Chain A
Amino acid sequence: DAGVIQSPRHEVTEMGQEVTLRCKPISGHDYLFWYRQTMMRGLELLIYFNNNVPIDDSGMPEDRFSAKMPNASFSTLKIQPSEPRDSAVYFCASTPRGAGNYGYTFGSGTRLTVV
């Protein structure tokens, strides 16, 4: 398996622009998670899905952030409009049912810079 695949690896955009981050989880994994990592705040869980359904989006910072999972093999995280404080590394992770036995598999992340 190719693992969790994220694209793009790097994104530089201007303030106010829309940004879309993409994630392909491992086939057969029921859960998908979006995290944000910054030096100041560490790893933050933004939202997670179970069987394509959003379960907990309490970590989404504001209405500018939205996430979708239209099918089991694809998810997007969208920021509209983007702001400089959104600059971070965004990770996607997936796990089969029962993360207690398997843990998560993380993608390589998307480094977002908003100028």
Chain B
Amino acid sequence: GNSVTQMEGPVTLSEEAFLTINCTYTATGYPSLFWYVQYPGEGLQLLLKATKADDKGSNKGFEATYRKETTSFHLEKGSVQVSDSAVYFCALTGANSKLTFGKGITLSVRP
């Protein structure tokens, strides 16, 4: 079946540091890939997506590239801000529009 593996957390960075959060997946067919963000006390919000190999999703300074050869969709940001502190989930779609989520990783950014 489909699965998503995220790097272990939590991650703590200083403001303006470079961010990479690793995500790899196992899936049949050609899934779409997503990153969701959850701010404290809120629901999950779609951050970015990529629907086919080599697509790059981007939003709010975050980027991720759909790498079919390495089955990866790593999230990057060049300079994080305190306001980026949140939980980040990698996910993919499978059959019947079901999303499979990773376990999530907590990012804390220090001023």
Interface residues of chain A, those whose CB is within 8 Å of chain B, are 4, 31, 33, 42-43, 45, 48, 50, 55-56, 91, 93, 95, 97-101, 103-109
B99 part of interface (Cβ distance < 8 Å): yes
CB-based contact A42/B104 at 8 Å: yes
Chain B nearest Cβ from A102, distance in angstroms? 8
Q: Are B43 and A106 in contact (CB under 8 A)?
A: yes
- Nearest chain-B residue to A97 (Cβ)? B97
Given A43-B104, A91-B43, A104-B96 contact (CB < 8 Å): no
- Interface residue ranges, B against A (CB under 8 Å): 31-32, 34, 36, 42-46, 49, 51, 89, 91, 93, 96-99, 101, 103-104
Q: How far is the CA of A106 from the CA of B46 in the complex (A)?
A: 9
> Could you show 24 A-B contacts with beta carbons less than 8 Å apart?
A42-B104, A43-B104, A48-B98, A50-B96, A55-B96, A56-B98, A91-B43, A99-B32, A99-B98, A100-B31, A100-B32, A100-B51, A100-B93, A100-B97, A101-B51, A103-B32, A103-B36, A103-B46, A103-B49, A104-B44, A105-B46, A106-B43, A107-B43, A109-B42
